[in-house]
Amino acid sequence: MSEDLQKYAHIPLKQKSNRVWRTYEGGALIDRWKKMTPEVDGQMPEQWIMSTITARGNGRPEDEGLSLIETEDGVFPLKDLINSDLDLYLGKDLAEKFGTTGVLIKMLDSMERLTVQVHPDKNYAKTVFNSEFGKTESWYVLNTREIDGEKPVVYMGFKKHVTKEIWKTHFENQDIKGMLDCLHKIEVKPGDAFMIYGGVPHAIGAGCFLMEVQEPTDYTMRVEKTTPAGLKIGPELIHQGVGEEKMLECFHYDTFTIDEALNEWKITPEVLEESAEHTFKTLFNKKHTNCFGLSELLLDGEHTIKGNGCFYVAVIYSGDGVIDCNGKQYDYKQGDEIFISAAILEITFRSHEASKILLCYPPS
């Protein structure tokens, strides 16, 4: 069967819908992006894209989070296709270094504020979880909405007055207001982009629809034991099984003024190419992290992308058209998520309707 699966490395691969349960509510703007009705907020506020990892959480389906690809031979987990020939799908360098994609992509829509949390950096992930990957991530804000009259915001980074002792006391007392007051509160709008490195405390506020490109783990340390909507969170989702003391060590206790925080983590997209038919921007690249990359193609015509020896993922945020690949044409439309294997040396996007295409890349 592995030889049969290798043939799919030569065509663009679209994934089936892959919604994932989380501790917070949202998802209506994902429905809108997917052109699904009704647009509903609930406990499935994330769409995981080209995922080869499962979501963490007790009582959830065993394979929740794994991406599925529909082929002429049936439906296969992306993981199985990749494992049929790592070099062919991932590219030789990535296959040898990681043996996996090395990246996870999410669409995330929050109807309520997410719990205050932190993710491990690589050192913590290695020593505590025996994982090659931490959970450095990036946010690219695609759309926003006001919830109960509140403008959309994010929280990140400790203010200057914060110490580990202050933070621990707020956690032990479950002083949520005190914890939020320790973090910088930043109003956001579509087009804003942020890096969230492992160890940086943060929370996404209500009303944010964003793409999150990150290292491929689901390690999240939470300091709130009850969500803003009143859901009790079990210990496994608070400290991931390592205990509360060890969980508090995941935080980096560096402090920042608001200007320092914005300078550290807010990213300005940069135009790399421009023509009458396309604009190609880089958002997250080697200047910010070697964990992943994200670019944006604004297309009103056609544009050819040449391979660089590794896979990438094209997420169609808006528009529709066709993809020319190895002598054949494939349709694309808003809401599609497309895996382009390393074996594909060149593709051409041709828009029928002006398109915004988000291009996600593995570790450099």
Mean pLDDT (whole number) for 298-325: 97
Residue 57 pLDDT: 76
Closest CA to 318 of 143, 76, 192, 117: 143
- Calculate the CA 248 to chain-centre distance: 24
131 or 4: which leads in pLDDT = 131
Residue 1 has pLDDT above 60, yes or no: no
Neighbours of 181 (CB within 10 A): 13
Q: Which amino acid is at 204?
A: I
Residue 12 pLDDT: 97
Residue 36 has pLDDT above 80, yes or no: yes
Do residues 344 and 325 touch, judged by C-beta distance below 8 A? yes
Taking only the tens place, the pLDDT of each residue in 280-294 is 999 999 999 999 999
What's the CA gap between 96 and 260, in Å, rounded? 38
Residue 56 pLDDT: 80
- Please give the share of the chain, as a percent, with pLDDT higher than 90: 94
Closest CA to 284 of 218, 192, 155: 192
Contacts of 59 (CB under 8 A, 6+ apart): none
Taking only the tens place, the pLDDT of each residue in 58-79 is 788 889 999 999 998 899 999 9
Residue 283 pLDDT: 98
Residue 4 pLDDT: 86
Taking only the tens place, the pLDDT of each residue in 352-364 is 999 999 999 999 8
Q: Which position has the token pair 């703007």?
A: 29
What's the CA gap between 113 and 23, in Å, rounded? 11
Residue 351 has pLDDT above 90, yes or no: yes
Model confidence band, residue 3 (pLDDT cutoffs 50, 70, 90): low
Report DSSP letters for 282-329, one per residue: EEE-TTT-SS-EEEEEEESSEEEEE--SS-EEEEEEEEEEEEEETTEE
Contacts of 215 (CB under 8 A, 6+ apart): 102, 103, 104, 133, 134, 135, 136, 137, 198, 291, 292
Residue 111 has pLDDT above 80, yes or no: yes
Mean pLDDT (whole number) for 98-113: 97
Taking only the tens place, the pLDDT of each residue in 144-186 is 999 999 999 999 999 999 999 999 999 999 999 999 999 999 9
Residue 137 pLDDT: 98
Neighbours of 109 (CB within 10 A): 28
Taking only the tens place, the pLDDT of each residue in 193-234 is 999 999 999 999 999 999 999 999 999 999 999 999 999 999
Instruction: Look at the chain and count its residues.
Output: 364
Residue 84 pLDDT: 95
User: pTM for the complete prediction?
Assistant: 0.96
